[in-house]
């Protein structure tokens, strides 16, 4: 139904979208997630030409809407859009907000438009508010009216631009419930959202956008449980990281410990977890120092806290030849490795791009 090829958008010297390629099939629900400022809303606005793309092609039912011969107004009628700021006409009642478009643009009679409008208001649970003006409605009610107004234009596709971001948390569920109903009825939708549970439950596919591209896409199970790319994993797990680069054996352990303590305090980690992390780092550095006496000393330490999993992961990477200190009998003194094994779990060694990578999760108990 929608096919996007090499879409780009610049605002002056700022590139917001670059080489975006995507396809949305009839009846699919696509959730678009990612950090703020990565082009998600601009992508939607380009799809219905609220923003004119700088390059690329957009096909709706096989017709390139950027072609000079395309009947853009007719094609845009197939695609409704719901904004985060509602955009209702303040001087019109809820019912009038729904009828003005069908009467003026679709040629419906006032009676036809009014009957359909009442059906839609009933569908979104607001029939009793038909005579109310927008300033008499709550945020959630305004957004439900905005969705009903969009449906009144009989679109084949609906684009939702963060439909719950301007709402009080208590009102989010009432709006998402309406979108869930539309999904069950087979409406084709693209939804920019920060509601991860909604994206997981309702979507056929999820687009993760970063740096102006669709960085990763796939079914919700893959994106939320087994993302293939690092930035996706960091975003999904809401990971915060501290990286420390060590380039010689005369490293300042006190400075390293100070940064680790600050990092743990910032994320309100228990004191026991903090102490385990400090001891793990000390023992790891001692082991790597013992094993790398004759080689260039280069270690990168990364401490990552996942808010979603409530877990603290430590990764140590070293340059040089193969070196796995946790193989049996690698070092004459095994006390350090024993301490590390007692303080951590999910220990894993990898040889990645001529580097030694050892990762572990700090035990909670």
Mean pLDDT of the chain: 87
Contacts 24+ apart (CB under 8 A), 116-123: 116/152, 117/148, 117/152, 120/148, 120/151, 120/152, 121/94, 121/95, 121/145, 121/148, 123/148, 123/151, 123/178, 123/181
Give the three-state DSSP class for 68. Answer: coil
331 HSE (CA, 13 A, CB side): 19
Residue 252 above 70 pLDDT?
Answer: yes
Instruction: Please report, rounded to a whole number, the percentage of residues in the chain having pLDDT higher than 70.
Output: 96
This prediction has a pTM of: 0.72
Q: What is the Cα–Cα distance from 254 to 250, expressed in whole angstroms?
A: 12
Per-residue confidence (pLDDT) for residue 150, from 0 to 100: 92
User: What are the distances in angstroms from CA 36 to CA 3, 12, 223?
Assistant: 24, 20, 18
Residue 328 above 70 pLDDT?
Answer: no
Kindly report, residue by residue over 187-245, the tens digit of the pLDDT: 999 999 988 888 888 899 999 999 899 999 999 999 988 898 988 988 888 878 888 88
Residue 340 above 90 pLDDT?
Answer: no
Q: What is the Cα–Cα distance from 80 to 159, expressed in whole angstroms?
A: 6
Residue 143 above 50 pLDDT?
Answer: yes
User: What are the distances in angstroms from CA 188 to CA 9, 60, 64, 104, 174?
Assistant: 24, 12, 19, 25, 20
Per-residue confidence (pLDDT) for residue 189, from 0 to 100: 94
Instruction: Count other C-beta atoms under 10 Å from residue 93's C-beta.
Output: 18
Average pLDDT of the segment spanning 328-349: 76
Kindly report, residue by residue over 29-65, the tens digit of the pLDDT: 999 999 888 899 999 999 988 899 999 999 988 888 8
Q: Which residues pair with 242 in a beta bridge?
A: 303
Residue 347 above 80 pLDDT?
Answer: yes
Per-residue confidence (pLDDT) for residue 135, from 0 to 100: 93
Q: What is the Cα–Cα distance from 104 to 122, expressed in whole angstroms?
A: 23
Per-residue confidence (pLDDT) for residue 295, from 0 to 100: 55
Residue 365 above 80 pLDDT?
Answer: no
Q: Residue 129's pLDDT band (boundaries 50, 70, 90)? A: very high
Q: What is the Cα–Cα distance from 38 to 96, expressed in whole angstroms?
A: 36
Identify the CATH number of the domain defined by range 2-236.
3.40.50.300
Average pLDDT of the segment spanning 239-253: 85
Q: What is the Cα–Cα distance from 325 to 328, expressed in whole angstroms?
A: 8
Give the three-state DSSP class for 333. Answer: coil
Kindly report, residue by residue over 91-107, the tens digit of the pLDDT: 999 999 999 999 998 89
Q: Residue 174's pLDDT band (boundaries 50, 70, 90)? A: confident
Instruction: Please report, rounded to a whole number, the percentage of residues in the chain having pLDDT higher than 90.
Output: 43
Residue 296 above 50 pLDDT?
Answer: yes
Kindly report, residue by residue over 7-38, the tens digit of the pLDDT: 999 998 899 999 999 999 999 999 999 988 88
Angle between helices 335-343 and 271-291 (to 10 degrees): 150
Per-residue confidence (pLDDT) for residue 25, from 0 to 100: 93
Identify the CATH number of the domain defined by range 238-362.
3.30.565.10
> At residue 275, what are phi and psi to the nearest 5 degrees?
-65, -40
Residue 265 above 90 pLDDT?
Answer: no
Instruction: Considering only the C-alpha atoms of the chain, give the largest distance between any 2 of them, rounded to a whole number of Å.
Output: 90
CA pseudo-torsion sign 344, 221, 20, 210: negative
Residue 293 above 70 pLDDT?
Answer: no
Q: What is the Cα–Cα distance from 183 to 231, expressed in whole angstroms?
A: 28
The tokens for 259 are 């940064």
Smallest Cα–Cα separation from 56: which of 13, 14, 9, 15?
9
Residue 282 above 80 pLDDT?
Answer: yes
Residue 331 above 80 pLDDT?
Answer: no
User: What are the distances in angstroms from CA 77 to CA 72, 81, 102, 156?
Assistant: 9, 10, 11, 8
Domain boundaries, the chain: 2-236, 238-362
Per-residue confidence (pLDDT) for residue 294, from 0 to 100: 45
């Amino acid at each position: 139904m929608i096919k996007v090829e090499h879409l780009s958008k610049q605002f002056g010297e700022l590139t917001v979208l670059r080489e975006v390629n995507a396809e949305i099939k009839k009846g699919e629900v696509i959730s678009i997630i990612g950090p703020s400022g990565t082009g998600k809303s601009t992508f939607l606005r380009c799809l219905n030409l609220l923003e004119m793309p700088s390059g690329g092609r957009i096909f709706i039912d096989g017709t390139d809407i950027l072609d000079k011969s395309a009947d853009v107004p007719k094609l845009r009628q197939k695609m409704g859009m719901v904004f985060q700021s509602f955009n209702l006409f303040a001087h019109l009642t809820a019912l009038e907000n729904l009828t003005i478009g069908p009467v003026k643009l679709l040629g419906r009679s006032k009676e036809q438009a009014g009957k359909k409008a009442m059906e839609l208001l009933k569908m979104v649970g607001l029939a009793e508010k038909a005579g109310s003006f927008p300033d008499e409605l709550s945020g959630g009610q305004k957004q439900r009216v905005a969705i009903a107004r969009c449906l009144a234009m009989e679109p084949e596709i609906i684009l939702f631009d963060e439909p719950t971001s301007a709402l009080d948390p208590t009102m989010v569920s009432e709006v998402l419930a309406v979108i869930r109903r539309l999904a069950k009825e087979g409406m084709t939708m693209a939804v920019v959202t920060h509601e991860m549970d909604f994206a997981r439950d309702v979507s056929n596919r999820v687009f993760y956008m970063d740096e102006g591209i669709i960085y990763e896409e796939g079914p919700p199970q893959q994106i939320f449980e087994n993302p293939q790319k690092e930035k996706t994993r960091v975003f999904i797990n809401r990971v915060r990281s501290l990286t420390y680069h060590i380039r010689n054996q005369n490293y300042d352990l006190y400075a390293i410990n100070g940064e680790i303590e600050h990092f743990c305090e910032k994320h309100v980690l228990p004191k026991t977890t903090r102490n385990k992390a400090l001891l793990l780092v000390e023992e790891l550095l001692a082991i790597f120092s013992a094993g790398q006496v004759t080689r260039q000393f280069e270690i990168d330490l990364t401490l990552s806290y996942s808010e979603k999993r409530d877990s603290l992961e430590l990764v140590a990477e070293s340059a040089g030849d193969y070196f796995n200190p946790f193989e049996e009998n690698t070092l004459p003194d095994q006390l350090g490795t024993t301490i590390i094994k007692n303080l951590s779990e999910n220990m894993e060694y990898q040889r990645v791009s001529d580097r030694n990578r050892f990762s572990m999760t700090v035990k909670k108990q």
